Amino acid sequence: MKVMLRQNCAGKLTVYVAKKDLEEEVVNQTIGEEGKIFTLANGWELSIPKLEEPLKLPQTVEAKRLS
């Protein structure tokens, strides 16, 4: 699924999923076998492969929902 990574006005990293009309704050970031894994405030885990560091925001990337 396509998601947009951006910063909110408080400077926190957020993920926006247009198909679900969902915007959630990232509460945890880890490195997994499939790339970077973001844990969202609602409990979702999204895997984003080949994410460049440092993050250039905002950007749209392909993500896979793990849970």
CB distance 15 to 40 below 8 Å: yes
pLDDT tens for the chain, residues 1 to 67:
999 999 999 999 999 999 999 999 999 999 988 899 999 999 999 999 988 888 899 999 999 999 6
Contacts of 57 (CB under 8 A, 6+ apart): 5, 6, 7, 13
pLDDT value at residue 25: 97
Domains of the chain: 2-65 (2.40.50.240)
pLDDT value at residue 34: 81
For residue 65, CA distances in Å to 11, 31, 40, 54, 57 come to 24, 15, 11, 22, 21
| Predicted TM-score (pTM) of this structure | 0.88
